[in-house]
């Protein structure tokens, strides 16, 4: 077996075993212990994090921050992975920000020159734009860690009523419209809530007796039953919905189609106009009041009556503001 092939297989064996002795590897590869020692030294120089242990049960061990064994990528796969990570650069904060930057550098530097030239050209030809947001979300890694480990987070949250302390059990994190969100079970509300990550100004993971005390008395679905795909249905299981119907002009359809509304469907006619027919949460009346007012004459809400009434009140309030300015 050639040295290069032996080093490759040795790297795979090291990652598989995690803990081993020189004699064990020497017998497996049919070489002397001195040769294995030299090979392990070379693996260390290549970045494989090994450390030796002394004593009767000693040997070598792979650190937890281990290097993955070599993975063979085709040219197109490597370019695809590069741009998938490169697409996140417009977000001010992302999980594993330092690691992503390091991975991109490794991909780029270890590619052949012609592939690097191809990437340089593609950088100016393809992009994934998101709205530029000034808000910082410094606790993304902690929230993600808590979601994976099902750990409770004590967070200081800047909500509608000002800053308050919340104990939450994160479901996960996701990005939308340039902002990061964290669905989580809220212990004070005894239900699932959606938190803006940039409004979490401080956060720490709780463990031990305090964690168990918080979980006691709360009917929280077992770990693994709630995730980003189904948390909404769990959250809205006991929520009150109302039917909604909105007539849309051609421009109204185009503007509504750019929104992400999982509960609403837009129907279009041959001339481009259309309508919305579906159900909304009663607690979202305030949001839809402001939204459809923003569409002006391109949208006319006919139901629910609560939404129609809220829009009329808002229009009256806006008119009053401008009347007062005219008097002044």
Mean pLDDT of the chain: 83
For 241-326, CATH number out of 3.40.1360.10, 3.40.50.1400, 3.30.70.120, 3.40.50.1970 equals: 3.30.70.120
253 band by pLDDT with thresholds 50, 70 and 90: very high
pLDDT in tens, 95-151: 877 777 777 787 787 778 888 888 888 888 888 777 778 889 999 999 999 998 888
With cut-offs at 50, 70 and 90, classify the pLDDT of residue 328: low
CATH architecture of 3-62: Orthogonal Bundle (1.10)
Closest CA to 22 of 56, 60, 51: 60
Task: State how far the Cα of 156 lies from the Cα of 152, in Å rounded to an integer.
Answer: 13
Q: Which residues are CB-neighbours of 96 under 8 A, at least 6 positions away?
A: 141
Q: Can you tell me the distance from the alpha carbon of 195 to that of 184, in angstroms, rounded to the nearest whole number?
A: 7
Q: How high is the pLDDT of residue 182?
A: 95
Please state, in angstroms and rounded to a whole number, the distance separating the CA atoms of residues 19 and 16. Answer: 9
Counting Cα atoms < 13 Å in the Cβ hemisphere of 1 gives: 13
pLDDT digits (tens, 9 = 90+) for 167-179: 999 999 998 888 8
Block residue for tokens 């299981």: 237
């Amino acid at each position: 077996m050639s040295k290069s092939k032996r080093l490759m297989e040795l790297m795979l064996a090291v990652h598989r075993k995690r803990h081993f002795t020189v004699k064990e590897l020497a017998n497996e590869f049919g070489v002397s212990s001195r040769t294995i020692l030299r090979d392990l030294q070379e693996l260390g120089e290549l970045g494989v994090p090994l450390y030796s242990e002394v004593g009767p049960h000693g040997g070598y061990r792979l650190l937890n921050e281990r290097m993955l064994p070599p993975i063979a990528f085709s040219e197109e796969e490597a370019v695809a992975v590069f741009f998938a990570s490169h697409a996140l650069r417009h977000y001010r904060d992302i999980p594993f920000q330092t690691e992503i930057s390091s991975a991109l550098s490794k991909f780029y530097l270890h590619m052949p020159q012609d592939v690097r030239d191809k990437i340089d050209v593609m950088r100016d030809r393809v992009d994934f734009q998101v709205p530029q947001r000034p808000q910082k979300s410094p606790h993304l890694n902690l929230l993600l860690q808590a979601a994976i480990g099902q750990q409770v987070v004590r967070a200081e949250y800047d909500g509608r009523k000002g800053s308050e302390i919340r104990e939450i059990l994160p479901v996960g994190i996701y990005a939308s419209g340039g902002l990061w969100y964290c669905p989580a079970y809220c212990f004070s509300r005894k239900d699932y809530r959606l938190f803006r990550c940039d409004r979490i100004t401080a956060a720490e993971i709780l463990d031990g007796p305090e964690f168990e005390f918080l979980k006691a008395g709360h009917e929280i679905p077992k770990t693994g039953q709630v995730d980003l795909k189904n948390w909404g249905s769990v959250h809205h299981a006991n929520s009150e919905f109302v039917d909604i119907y909105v007539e849309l002009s051609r421009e109204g359809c185009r503007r509504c189609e750019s929104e992400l509304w999982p509960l609403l469907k837009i129907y279009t006619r041959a001339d481009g106009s259309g309508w919305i027919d579906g159900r909304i949460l009663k607690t979202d009346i305030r949001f839809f009041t402001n939204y459809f007012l923003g569409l002006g004459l391109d949208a006319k809400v006919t139901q629910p009556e609560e939404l129609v009434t809220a829009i009329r009140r808002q229009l009256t309030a806006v008119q009053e503001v401008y009347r007062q300015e005219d008097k002044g």
